[in-house]
Amino acid sequence: MAKRGGFPGGGMPGNMANLMKQAQKMQRQMEAQAKEKALKVAKIIKLDDKLDLFAGKLGLLDRKRLEIGRALATEPKILLLDEVGGGLTESEVGLIINLVKEIKREGVSVIWIEHIIRTMLEGTDRVMLLAYLRSSSCHQENHL
């Protein structure tokens, strides 16, 4: 008798069929969970109204939001941001500061490397200045 599907008798054993059905069910559940997580992150980063656009069609602010969102989708405990304010207008920097505050409210610790003083004053709980290889830690903005 010819073997179809690699199994004697030509069919798929009952246990194999059951395992495959369960695997397919789990795959659908994981896809649904991934979609749910993506929608949650999109809402946090304020891109839930632009989900049908390609990244290349987004402006600079939204591309920066998208990169932050990609990191958030991994559910980090600590998020490292490096110069996310660079190239943004003053009002866009304010939007990024608000986004970082929201991320912190979600329970994520943020380490933010930035040269824009406003972000350090408005978007952080603690500032560490590094100049000429010397650091100075300040816990309140009036210590700067």
Strands 127-131 and 134-138: antiparallel
pTM summary value: 0.74
Distance CA 102, CA 88 (A): 19
φ, ψ for residue 82 (rounded to 5)? Answer: -125, 105
Find how far residue 90's CA is from the centre of its chain.
23
Along the 144 residues of the chain, how does pLDDT read in single tens digits?
A: 445 555 555 555 667 777 788 888 889 889 989 999 999 999 999 999 999 899 999 999 999 999 999 999 999 999 999 999 999 999 999 999 999 999 999 999 999 998 888 888 888 888 877 777 666 666 555 544
Q: What is the DSSP string of 105-116?
A: HTT-EEEEE-S-
In sign, the C-alpha dihedral spanning 40, 46, 52, 56 is negative
